Amino acid sequence: MPAFTPPSPSASAARWTAHGLSLTDDAASLPATLDLAQPRRGLTVAAGIATAGAQLLGLDLRPDCVPTDHWVRGNDVTAVYESIDPGRLRTTAMWRLHPAAHDVRSWELVVSAQTSLLHSDPLLPVVSEIDAGDVLWGTCRAGSIGWHAAPTAEAACVLVSSAAAAGASVLLAVHPADARRIEAVRLGRRTRVECWLFPTVLEKGVLLRSRVLAAVGPAGQAAGWAAELAGMFAASPPILTT
């Protein structure tokens, strides 16, 4: 399951430490924790350069989905979730740590879906919640990212920026080759970004995969580093489908 790895000559090491279903990344410049028993919460990012208590790349599964298997390999932690509802969806989620590059920290979630039924509805949201800020919508043209103030159905990424130059901005991107719908909703002092994956009917024997990138970096140069990172993500090779 190859995934995007941004080039980073000055990167610092990143590696998961496992304690049962709880994972931590204490060595990173921006520590993160992950509880596989609560995939909806995703990565909880420490306060500091990031918005306090940010939750990134959460997977909003059916209420009765439970982790049936998990494993850690270096920077990757993978969990399998089985649904016992009528949809019978089997979801595999891989959260990948990327090395810290300068002042930018990034993570990736690769989601796979299968079903034992002849047909199933696989629609799944990847949810992130961060401190509220200005939102820019990014479209991808020939590998380049263009930013727009108004929402667009063609958006492949969003950038939520702090109003303060000393604050942080958060990039959330779905690979532009993947079918998706991105929504950003203001909830009081928080902004919730939902990346909806797999909008088509899933058939038995078919494997769907999609990937979402999250990154945190300085607000002062956000449009620049976010466009560069999202462009590299868009140019990364496709994920194996078998």
The full DSSP string for 171-204 is EEEE-TTS-EEEEEEEETTEEEEEEEE--S-EET
The model's confidence at residue 11, banded by pLDDT at 50, 70 and 90, is very low
The model's confidence at residue 8, banded by pLDDT at 50, 70 and 90, is very low
Strand, helix or coil for residue 39:
coil
Strand, helix or coil for residue 102:
coil
Domain for residue 43, yes or no? yes
| pLDDT single digits (tens) 124-167 | 899 999 887 889 999 998 889 999 999 999 999 999 986 555 57
Domain for residue 85, yes or no? yes
Number of compact structural domains in the chain: 1
Domain for residue 77, yes or no? yes
- Rounded to whole angstroms, the Cα distance separating 160 from 155 reads 14
| pLDDT single digits (tens) 43-88 | 998 755 445 568 999 999 877 677 899 999 888 999 999 887 666 7
Number of Cβ within a 10 Å radius of residue 54: 24
Give me the domain span that covers residue 168.
17-235
Q: What is the pLDDT of residue 196?
A: 92
**CATH number (domain holding residue 90):** 2.70.98.10
Domain for residue 45, yes or no? yes
Query: Is the pLDDT reported for residue 6 higher than 60?
Result: no
Q: Which segments of the chain does DSSP mark as H helices, in order?
A: 222-235
Domain for residue 11, yes or no? no
Torsion of CA 12, 59, 45, 134, to 10 degrees: 100
Domain for residue 136, yes or no? yes
Domain for residue 242, yes or no? no
Domain for residue 10, yes or no? no
Parallel, antiparallel, or unpaired for β 134-141 and 180-187? Answer: unpaired
Strand, helix or coil for residue 137:
strand
pTM for the complete prediction?
0.87
Partnered with residue 123 across adjacent β-strands are none
